[in-house]
Amino acid sequence: MLQEKYGTEKSRAMSIVPDEETAAYSGPFILEVIRQPAEVAHVIDEWHTLLAQLERVTCFASPEWLLAWWHYFGSHSRLYIIVLRVPEAAGTKLVGIVPFQIDLWGHFPLRVRVIRWLGQSNGALTDTLGAFFATGYEQVGMQAALTYLSTHCDEWDMLALARTPVQYVQTLTLWARQFGSIVHVLDTVGWLSIQLSSTWESYQSTLSKNLRSNLPRYRNRLLRDGHRAAFITLTEPQALIEALPQFFVLHRQRALAEQMKHHSDYFSSADSRAFLAHIVSVLAQQHRCALMQMLIDDTVVAMQLLLLQEQSVSLYFSGFDPQWSRYSVMMLTTRASLEYVIAHGYRWVDLTAGGGSQAKRQWGNEERVVHYIALARPTLQGYSGIWGMRVWHYMQNYLLEDIQKCCKAALSLFNRKKV
């Protein structure tokens, strides 16, 4: 493990002026780089202590989640976790974790070493990504980590950081310009969340009139059609593990449903199912996981997985039987999930990406912006990597949509000429 000290001189050399929040600390940082999973053991208690101090941190920032993800999906990458401490009278204090992985992208002779957030790839199973710091260390802590990357630039060619919070984008951009790097924002998406009230009734009063009327309407429709509906929350480890096979079935049924908005089957591979079974078992032992089930006539028709962390909850993946879609069973299951977390004192819910999704937007009352930012060193590998990634990102996310638009325009023009 490497340990180095970075002081204020190097931070000032980047010409980034701390704001009032970050100006609270102007001393040196002691940096360590974790390259092997076993090395996390000596910081795991401090890691949990740091997370406990943060109000809006999700389960995806926990060492349990990131190490489990690395175990199942990190075999082709290199671990690269930067740990930041500050000196104190009795020793040092951990104030930041910057979890990276280094992937090899492309082929010889243009193989590019790409730094990503740990957990970024492999089916987006890790929702929220990025660094986390104690209050007052956010910007200067990120600057210290970037300074370390500058002095060890022989280990990487480019950074490709998805879902990066807007407060770090400016820091990354200014650092890249000082470093002589190329910067490109590949994507920008809205990230929805809910600031909960102390009771379901007070939170419900903030929802749209349409949603408030639909919630009892679908429940009453079930009763009118002679069905019995019930909700069960599973929290015990054994019950959660036994319910996962059915969860995978419902998730797949939703993904394959026709005449509905497309959803991917994120658990189609054996590795992704094994990963979820493992992490659910670990989190359930720590009372940080729950599974909401909706039953109609004693048959489970919908499920919502909840991941718990301090005062926050992540509404993770879900699934339902499309045969019951006329009763909006997923909407009713989401309501039951939110009632559960409010009753248990949670105050913030992460809805993940989906600013354009009406299903999520109808519940959310806050939205922030996250960016997919790419930065490349001024080298052949760096230039090749960032332009290759831009092309690949366009092909994956926009090319099919553009082709469909062109086909529709051509068909419309053909029909007008035919008339």
With beta carbons less than 8 A apart as the criterion, state whether 348 and 313 touch: yes
Clarify whether residues 397 and 336 are in a common domain. no
72 domain-assigned:
yes
Cis peptide before 109 (omega within 30 of 0): yes
CA 70 to chain centre: 15
Clarify whether residues 315 and 263 are in a common domain. yes
Q: Residue 279's domain spans which residues?
A: 197-346
Tokens (6 digits) for 182: 């190329």
Clarify whether residues 143 and 206 are in a common domain. no
Tokens (6 digits) for 240: 């959660």
398 domain-assigned:
yes
Clarify whether residues 247 and 158 are in a common domain. no
The pLDDT value recorded for residue 408 is 62
Q: Find the CATH number of the domain harbouring 34.
A: 3.40.630.30
Grouped pLDDT means (10 residues each) for the chain, 419 residues: 46 34 68 95 95 91 95 92 92 94 79 92 82 93 93 92 90 87 85 92 92 92 94 96 97 87 87 96 96 97 95 93 94 96 94 67 87 87 74 68 66 62
Cβ neighbourhood burial of 224 (10 Å; 0-12, 13-18, 19+): exposed
Clarify whether residues 98 and 236 are in a common domain. no
Clarify whether residues 94 and 141 are in a common domain. yes
Is the overall model pTM greater than 0.75, yes or no?
A: yes
Clarify whether residues 183 and 39 are in a common domain. yes
- Total count of domains within the chain: 2
Count other Cβ atoms within 10 Å, centred on residue 153.
13
Closest by CA to 364, choosing from 380, 377, 350, is: 350
The pLDDT value recorded for residue 296 is 97
259 domain-assigned:
yes
Clarify whether residues 37 and 177 are in a common domain. yes
The pLDDT value recorded for residue 20 is 43
Clarify whether residues 162 and 212 are in a common domain. no
Closest by CA to 157, choosing from 121, 111, 215, 222, is: 111
Clarify whether residues 203 and 167 are in a common domain. no
With beta carbons less than 8 A apart as the criterion, state whether 184 and 386 touch: yes
363 domain-assigned:
no
Clarify whether residues 232 and 317 are in a common domain. yes
Clarify whether residues 221 and 282 are in a common domain. yes
170 domain-assigned:
yes
